[in-house]
């Protein structure tokens, strides 16, 4: 049984590393493309990172362009941080199934929850901003291509994880009382 669990953790660690690297590349792509446009190479707005066409937005208003690209970069930065936390927990080998209620895992769940809430809030802001721009008559790429969909899922996950973190906190208290009793 222990070997099977170790294998699961190794596979999850590899998957987390792959996702982390992909998100870091996306974060860097949005950031460098935004900076590249601001430095004067406006031709890439029609073929922005991940082939998003933001040329209409750039021609409409530079400040709106900057606002949207900063939102996108921030969302991807939070996602990258989220998976960095996951990878770091695997690297520090803090998962102990015989003693699952510990401060490190509780802190990990709290941090994960707050970052998930931040992703949800920024995704919602980005989605609302895009809808507002569309109502202004601007042609915008769809939300899925900008990866702005799913804000409600991130918010739900963040709130759920906050509840789980509170349960872990209570479990740690009960476990420490039990250790003191024995």
- pLDDT tens for 38-82 read 998 888 888 898 889 999 999 999 999 999 999 999 999 999 999
Task: Tell me the average pLDDT of the chain.
Answer: 89
Q: 104 to each of 88, 100, 145, 175, 181, how far by Cα in Å?
A: 11, 10, 36, 14, 23
Length of the chain in residues, anyone? 182
Is residue 91 within 8 A of residue 29, CB to CB? The reply is: no
**Position 10 pLDDT exceeds 90:** no
**Position 158 pLDDT exceeds 90:** yes
Is residue 49 within 8 A of residue 69, CB to CB? The reply is: no
CA 18-157-27 angle, to 5 degrees, is 40
Is residue 117 within 8 A of residue 165, CB to CB? The reply is: no
Confidence of residue 1 (pLDDT cuts 50, 70, 90): low
Cα separation, 70 vs 67, whole angstroms? 5
Given this model, what pLDDT does residue 106 score?
86
- pLDDT tens for 72-115 read 999 999 999 999 999 998 787 766 667 777 888 888 899 999 99
- pLDDT tens for 136-148 read 999 999 888 898 8
DSSP letter for each residue of 51-97: G---HHHHHH-HHHHHHHHHHHHHHHHHHHHHHHHHHHHHHHT---T
Q: Give the dihedral of Cα atoms 113, 116, 122, 125; nearest 10 deg.
A: -90
Q: Domain coordinates of the chain in residue numbers? A: 2-181
């Amino acid at each position: 049984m222990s070997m099977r669990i170790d294998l699961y953790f190794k596979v999850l660690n590899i998957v987390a590393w792959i996702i982390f690297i992909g998100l870091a590349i996306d974060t860097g792509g949005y950031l460098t493309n935004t900076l590249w446009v601001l430095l004067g190479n406006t031709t890439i707005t029609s073929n922005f990172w991940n082939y998003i066409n933001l040329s209409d937005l750039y021609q409409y208003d530079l400040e709106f362009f900057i606002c949207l690209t900063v939102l996108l970069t921030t969302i991807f930065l939070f996602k990258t941080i989220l998976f960095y936390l996951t990878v770091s927990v695997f690297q520090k080998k803090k998962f102990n199934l015989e003693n699952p209620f510990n401060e490190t895992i509780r802190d990990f769940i709290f941090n994960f929850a707050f970052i998930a809430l931040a992703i949800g809030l920024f995704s919602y802001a980005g989605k609302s901003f895009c809808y507002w721009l569309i109502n202004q008559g601007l042609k915008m790429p769809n939300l899925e291509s900008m990866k702005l969909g799913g804000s409600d899922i991130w918010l739900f996950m963040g709130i759920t994880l906050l509840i789980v973190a509170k349960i872990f906190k209570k479990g740690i208290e009960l476990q420490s009382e039990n250790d003191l009793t024995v």
